[in-house]
Amino acid sequence: MTVIPAPVTAQARQIEAILFDKDGTLFDFGATWEVWAQALLLRLCTQDADRAAAAGWGIGFDMKACRFLPDSIAIAGTAGQVAEALAPHVPDLSVAQVLAMLNDEAERTPQVEAVPLGPFLDRLRGLGLKLGVATNDAENPARAHLGAAGVIDRFDFIAGFDSGHGAKPGPGQLLAFAKAVGVAPHLVAMVGDSSHDLIAGRSAGMVTVGVLTGIADAGDLAAFADVILPDISHLHAWLGR
């Protein structure tokens, strides 16, 4: 697959830091979160398949097909928003209880790496780049996922929607990363698989890089991306180093 549109190498060569979305970017979205959604919905609904299917539609998940719909709140929304959408389907639980169960199930869900992350991140760090993660997941599950993959120490910054910087598509997490690593926003690349990631990048004044390892296709991302890559492994070629 070719890069869409053509590489912006002049801009890319100036990049000093890269901020990654987590789900659909560092980790393959479908292979990871479809398993999570099935387990969570059945757990919330005490293994009642019919109730679980109805709750699934509430967050844009088809239990029978085991897949998320393109407009699912789980794709770009926060864990808190997912919990709020699920709560009406489990009236015996509070939103806080649903969120706690959601996060617990997320921490235990095996993550499928989009590419072998260890050598990929080591190569980027070898170029002197600062690295971070900004996710609409909660911070604790995010750290658990990165720890389980053995790569948490490669990142200079990790933030979730509950880390005090807001959530995407707002720019708060992104600007906090730039400040934390001492790099001007226009020298940071925001890499993500959803329009929320890229809109946040544009709002923060960063270079925006879309990847196709989530639910969105190139057409969904084109309006918000400076470049679209098949997956994060193509970053090395795009950087032109």
Domain CATH code at residue 154: 3.40.50.1000
DSSP H helical segments within 13-155, as ranges? 29-44, 49-58, 73-76, 79-86, 95-108, 117-126, 139-148
Mean pLDDT (whole number) for 62-77: 87
Of 181, 176, 190, the C-alpha closest to 19 is: 190
In the prediction, which pLDDT does 75 show? 80
Of 65, 85, 108, which one is at a domain's C-terminal end?
108
Angle at 106 between CA 164 and CA 90, to 5 degrees: 95
Torsion angle, CA of 106/99/166/36, rounded to 10 degrees? 20
What pTM does this model have? 0.84
In the prediction, which pLDDT does 1 show? 45
Q: Answer yes or no: are the C-beta atoms of 216 and 193 closer than 8 Å.
A: yes
In the prediction, which pLDDT does 78 show? 87
Cis status, amide bond into 5, omega within 30 of 0: yes
Q: Answer yes or no: are the C-beta atoms of 210 and 189 closer than 8 Å.
A: no
Q: 90 with 23, same domain?
A: no
Tell me how many domains the chain contains.
2
Q: 16 with 35, same domain?
A: no
Of 42, 76, 108, which one is at a domain's C-terminal end?
108
- 184-202 pLDDT tens trace: 999 999 999 999 999 999 9
Mean pLDDT (whole number) for 198-227: 94
pLDDT at 7 over 70: no
Spatial distance between the Cα atoms of 169 and 173, rounded to a whole number of angstroms: 10
Q: Determine the structural domain holding residue 40 and report its residue range.
A: 30-108
pLDDT at 47 over 60: yes
In this structure, what are the phi and psi dihedrals at residue 134, rounded to the nearest 5 degrees?
-130, 115
195: part of which helix (H) or strand (E)?
Answer: helix 195-204
